[in-house]
Amino acid sequence: MSNESDSDAIFKALAHRRRREILDMLKDAPRTTGSLCEAFTDMDRCTVMQHLKVLEEADLVIAKKDGRERWNHLNSLPIKQIHDRWISAYAGHALSILDQLKKDLED
């Protein structure tokens, strides 16, 4: 992660449920903006585009134009960097505490 403002943008992007849903939809394959808009019938196209913009600014989505279509691709590298920086370090500590608790209970 290059700096704190990058991680702030990633956390901001991940904070909204709809943006996480968009990322989930992009896990298996890229999707056009039109197909994403069709998937969210309760939001208008402008709102979906605003969510995509936040995801692009956080580098979580890479958009490529192909003719008249705009294809949105998931970039999972920033999520991995968040995991490596924040989650994995704390998960290791939590596992060691659970391991010690298990040993104490067995004794």
C-alpha distance from residue 20 to each of 12, 16, 92 (Å): 11, 6, 25
> What is the value of pTM for the model shown?
0.79
How confident is the model over 43-61, as pLDDT tens digits? 999 999 999 999 999 999 9
pLDDT in tens, 72-83: 999 999 999 988
Which residues, including other chains, have CB under 8 Å from residue 7's CB and lie 6 or more apart?
Answer: 1, 81, 82, 85
Question: Is residue 98 scored above 90 in pLDDT?
Answer: no
Which domain range does residue 40 map to?
Answer: 4-106
pLDDT band at 92 (very low <50, low <70, confident <90, very high): confident
Which residue's structure tokens are 């449920």?
17
For residue 86, the tally of other CB atoms under 10 A from its CB is: 13
- How many domains are contained in the chain? 1
The CA-to-CA distance between both ends of the chain, in Å, stands at 43
Assess whether pLDDT exceeds 60 at residue 101. yes
Res 3 pLDDT > 70: no
More confident residue, 19 or 88: 19
Mean pLDDT calculated for residue range 28-32: 97
The CATH number given to whatever domain includes residue 52 is 1.10.10.10
